[in-house]
Amino acid sequence: MNTKALTAIAAVLVFPVAAMAGPDEDNLVINDELDMTSVTEAQAHLENLDTIYSGWHFRTDETQALQIDDFDNPAMIFVDQAADLFETVDGAAGKSCSSCHDGVESFKGLQASMPKVDAETGKLVVMEDLINACRTEHMEADAWKWSGGDMQGMVALIGLQSRGMPMNVAIDGDAAPYWEQGKEMYYTRYGQLELSCANCHEDNWGNMIRADHLSQGMINGFPTYRLKQAKLISRHNRFRGCIRDTRAETFAEGSDEFRALELYVASRGNGLSVETPAVRQ
């Protein structure tokens, strides 16, 4: 089948006109006390949206309920396991994370500024890079697999320390070229379906795509616990899945392309509260 035909099919299957259903108007309050900013004004660098919404607003009441109480949030099992790992000695240097870091609470605020440019190397780094650098260089232990349970549990535990704080990634200075690269990727049409991230998450958010209610594709709640997969999903894993759905070859988790895309997507959510770990369908 040629590309044109597939695109036509996609147009029919993907965005049925009658299915428009915007974000709901519920308030996201966690544990009855932590009032989250899950809807806010878009920053000026986000040219095509006025208001930004957390993906939580597009989920069913049942899925939403799992995120508003830590006792019900299935991601917390993995966060607890990571808290144990933080204290566990591993590697030739005979150290645990807590040998050098004064409790995981010392990372409060870090997630809100990630990804960021490493001042020494000039490279864009994401949370997984910071953790693996400590494992390999400071602990002399093996790097963790990007989307593995240990890594994403630790990314979630560190992210949780910033829950409720507004996302505020820097996009200027050293970060500017990476941000431009990520932005270009966001508007590139991928695959046989010729769909960009923007086609779905900017032009069609609020619409139904098959059985799914399309959100704005924010990453302020990552890693998220996906009920379908019964585990924590990394940001790069989600990007890969979305690109694969357009029937395109995709980039690898931990690739420089996905680091740049992560910075750009994070910046679209600047102002939304860090929700880590969120729960999704």
Among residues 31 and 60, whose Cβ is nearest to ligand HEC?
A: 60
Q: Minimum Å distance from CB 156 to ligand HEC?
A: 12
* Rounded Cα gap, residues 168 and 274, in angstroms: 10
Calculate the CA 25 to chain-centre distance: 22
Q: Minimum Å distance from CB 135 to ligand HEC?
A: 5
Among residues 70 and 257, whose Cβ is nearest to ligand HEC?
A: 257
- Annotated catalytic residues are 242
* Rounded Cα gap, residues 271 and 68, in angstroms: 20
The 3-class SS string of 48-102 reads: CCCEEECHHHHCCHHHHHHHCCCCCCCCHHHHHHHHHHHCCCECCCCECHHHHCC
Spatial CA neighbour of 115 closest among 107, 105, 132, 127:
127
For 190, list phi and psi in degrees, rounded to 5: -110, 150
* Rounded Cα gap, residues 42 and 53, in angstroms: 9
The C-alpha angle 55, 107, 160, rounded to 5 degrees, equals: 30
3-state secondary structure of 109: coil
Q: Minimum Å distance from CB 27 to ligand HEC?
A: 17
Nearest residue to the partner ligand HEC, using Cβ: 55
Binding site for ligand HEC (CB under 6 A): 14, 55, 58, 95, 97, 99-101, 107, 110, 130-131, 133-135, 138-139, 154, 158, 195, 197, 199-201, 209, 212, 214-215, 217-219, 221, 224, 238-239, 242-243, 245-246, 261, 265, 280
Q: Minimum Å distance from CB 215 to ligand HEC?
A: 3
